[in-house]
C-alpha cells in the first residue's frame, strides 16, 4: 500500500486496529502483554545467553566453541532478519475471525517450542544450527505480531510507561535466562524446555486476552517482486526520522550482542573462572543488571511521558551503556564485572524504557504498523547476525582469548548510536 508521511502536528488515520489517542488500554491487556513479553523472551534468550553455549561446548572439541557458537548464532539471527518483516507484513494483511495478530502469536510460540525440543535432544551440531534457524524464524513471527499489537492497543499518552514495562520484562527474561543454567544445571532437556513451556503458556494467555479485531475488509492485492522487496524497506529519504531511529537501534543492539554472545566465555577466559563458577557469577551479574534496569526503565518511561521528551533519554542512555562496555576492558575480577553490569543496567534500562516509544512515534504509517515495525526489527536482527561472527573475528585477532578489542569497538559503536538520535526532528 502507498504510505504518506505522518507529520508531528497531525493525527494519523485510525481504524478499529489502531489505538485510540485519548483512552488508556485496560489493565488486563497491559498485564498479559507484559507477561507475554517475559515468556517469549525467556524461551528465546535462555539459549542465547546460556544453554546454547553449553550445548555447543558439549558437541565440539575444546578450542572450537567460539567459532561454532558464532556460526550457530549468526544463522539464527539471519532467520530473525528475514522472518520479522515478512511475518509483520503477513500479520498486517491477515484476515479471519481470530484477528491479525493472534494467529501468529500462537503459531510462533508453538514453533519455537518444537524447535527448542529438537535442539535439546540432538547430538549433531548441524541439527542444532538448522533447528536454531527455525526457532528464530518462529519466534520472530510471534515477535512481529506482538510488537504490532502494542502499537495497536497502547495510545500515545501511555506509551512511555507501557513500553518501559515491556522493556523491563525483556530484561527480567534475561535474568531468568541467566539463572536457568544455575537452577536447572546442564541438563539439556530441562534447560531448553522449562523456559520454552513458560513462554508458550504466557504467550497463549495473551493471545486469548488480546482484543484483536479482524480486518473489516480484505486488503488489496500487492503481488510481484516490488511488493516483496518493499517488505524489507522504508525509504529513509522520505522518512528520515524513521531512518535515524533505525540506525541508532542498529548500533546499540550490535554493541550489546558483541559482548553478551560471549559473556559466559568472557568470564571463563578473561576472568579465569571455571564453567560452573562462570554460570554462577553471570547469574549474579545479570541480577544486579536487571535490578538497576527495572528501576531505571520504569522511571525513564514515566518521566518521558510526563516531559513529552524521548531523544535526550535515548541518547544519554546509549552513552552510559558505552561507558559500561568500556569498563569491561579492565574487568579482570568478579567485582569489576559486577560494577560494569550495574552501569550497563542503568544505561540499557533507560534505553529500553524510552526507545520503543520513540519508534512508535516515528512510524511512517500506523495502518501498516506490523510491516514497518518488521522493517525496524531488522535493526534488532541484523546486528545479532553480524555480532557473533564480528565478535569472534575481533577476539581471534588478538589471540583468541582476549576481549579488549571487542569491548573497545563495542563502546565506540555505542557512541555512534547515541549521536544518531540527534537529527530526529518530529520527536523531542
Q: How many CB atoms lie within 10 A of CB 237?
A: 6
Residue pair 322/411 in contact (Cβ under 8 Å)? The answer is: yes
Mean pLDDT of the chain: 81
Residue 220 pLDDT level (bands cut at 50, 70, 90): low
Residue 221 pLDDT level (bands cut at 50, 70, 90): low
Lowest-pLDDT choice from 157-166, 267-276, 370-379, 409-418: 370-379
Kindly state the helix (H) or strand (E) to which residue 50 belongs, with its residue range. none
Taking the model in full, what pTM does it have?
Answer: 0.69
Share of the chain above pLDDT 90, in %: 18
pLDDT of 233 above 90: no
387-426 as b/e, with b when 16 or more CB fall inside 10 Å? bbbbbbebbbeeeeeebebbbebbbebbbbbbbbbeebee
- CA 272 to mean position of chain CA atoms: 30
HEC secondary structure over 248-268: HHHHHHHHHHHHHCCHHHHHH
Lowest-pLDDT choice from 113-127, 239-253, 371-385: 371-385
Residue 223 pLDDT level (bands cut at 50, 70, 90): low
- Identify the pLDDT of residue 297: 81
pLDDT of 10 above 70: no
65 by Cβ neighbours in 10 Å (0-12 / 13-18 / 19+) ranks as buried
- Identify the pLDDT of residue 129: 92
pLDDT of 49 above 80: no
Residue carrying C-alpha cell 526489527: 377
- Identify the pLDDT of residue 51: 82
- Identify the pLDDT of residue 208: 92
Mean pLDDT of the region 191-204:
93
- Identify the pLDDT of residue 3: 35
Residue pair 150/15 in contact (Cβ under 8 Å)? The answer is: no
Mean pLDDT of the region 15-39:
75
What is the second-level CATH architecture of the domain 27-216+225-419? Up-down Bundle (1.20)
Q: Could you report the per-residue pLDDT of 64-103, keeping only the tens digit for each?
A: 777 788 788 878 878 887 887 788 778 877 887 888 888 9
pLDDT of 9 above 50: no
Q: Could you report the per-residue pLDDT of 129-188, keeping only the tens digit for each?
A: 999 999 999 998 998 889 888 878 888 777 777 877 887 788 788 778 777 777 776 667
The domain segmentation of the chain, as residue ranges, is 27-216+225-419
Amino acid at each position: 500500500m502507498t504510505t504518506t508521511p505522518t507529520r508531528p502536528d497531525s493525527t494519523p488515520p485510525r481504524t478499529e486496529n489502531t489505538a485510540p489517542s485519548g483512552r488508556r488500554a485496560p489493565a488486563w491487556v497491559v498485564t498479559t502483554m507484559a507477561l507475554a513479553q517475559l515468556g517469549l523472551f525467556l524461551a528465546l534468550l535462555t539459549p542465547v545467553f546460556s544453554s546454547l553455549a553449553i550445548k555447543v561446548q558439549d558437541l565440539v572439541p575444546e578450542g572450537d566453541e567460539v567459532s561454532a557458537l558464532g556460526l550457530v548464532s549468526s544463522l539464527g539471527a539471519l532467520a530473525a532478519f528475514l522472518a520479522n518483516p515478512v511475518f509483520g507484513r503477513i500479520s498486517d494483511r491477515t484476515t479471519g475471525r481470530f484477528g491479525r495478530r493472534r494467529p501468529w502469536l500462537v503459531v510462533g510460540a508453538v514453533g519455537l517450542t518444537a524447535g527448542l525440543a529438537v535442539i535439546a535432544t540432538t547430538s549433531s551440531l548441524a541439527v542444532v544450527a538448522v533447528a536454531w534457524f527455525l526457532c528464530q524464524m518462529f519466534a520472530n513471527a510471534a515477535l512481529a505480531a506482538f510488537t504490532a499489537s502494542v502499537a495497536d492497543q497502547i495510545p500515545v499518552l501511555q506509551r512511555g510507561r507501557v513500553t518501559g514495562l515491556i522493556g523491563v520484562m525483556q530484561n527480567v527474561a534475561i535474568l531468568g535466562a541467566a539463572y536457568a543454567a544455575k537452577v536447572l544445571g546442564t541438563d539439556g532437556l530441562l534447560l531448553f524446555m522449562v523456559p520454552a513451556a513458560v513462554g508458550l503458556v504466557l504467550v497463549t494467555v495473551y493471545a486469548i486476552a488480546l482484543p484483536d479485531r479482524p480486518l473489516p475488509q480484505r486488503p488489496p492485492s500487492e503481488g510481484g517482486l516490488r511488493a516483496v522487496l518493499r517488505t524489507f524497506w522504508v525509504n529513509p529519504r522520505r522518512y528520515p526520522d524513521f531512518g535515524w531511529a533505525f540506525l541508532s537501534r542498529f548500533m546499540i543492539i550490535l554493541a550489546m550482542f558483541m559482548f553478551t554472545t560471549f559473556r559466559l566465555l568472557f568470564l571463563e577466559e578473561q576472568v579465569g573462572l571455571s564453567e560452573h563458577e562462570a554460570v554462577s557469577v553471570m547469574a549474579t551479574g545479570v541480577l544486579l543488571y536487571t535490578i538497576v534496569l527495572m528501576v531505571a526503565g520504569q522511571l525513564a518511561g514515566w518521566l518521558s511521558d510526563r516531559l513529552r521528551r524521548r531523544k535526550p533519554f535515548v541518547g544519554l542512555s546509549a552513552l552510559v551503556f558505552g561507558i559500561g562496555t568500556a569498563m569491561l576492558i579492565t574487568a579482570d575480577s568478579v567485582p569489576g564485572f559486577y560494577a560494569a553490569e550495574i552501569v550497563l543496567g542503568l544505561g540499557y534500562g533507560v534505553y529500553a524504557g524510552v526507545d520503543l516509544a520513540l519508534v512508535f512515534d516515528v512510524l511512517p504509517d500506523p495502518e501498516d504498523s506490523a510491516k514497518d515495525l518488521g522493517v525496524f526489527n531488522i535493526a534488532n536482527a541484523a546486528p545479532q547476525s553480524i555480532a557473533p561472527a564480528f565478535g569472534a573475528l575481533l577476539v581471534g585477532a588478538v589471540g583468541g582469548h582476549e576481549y579488549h578489542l571487542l569491548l573497545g569497538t563495542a563502546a565506540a559503536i555505542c557512541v555512534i548510536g547515541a549521536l544518531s538520535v540527534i537529527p530526529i526532528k518530529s520527536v523531542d
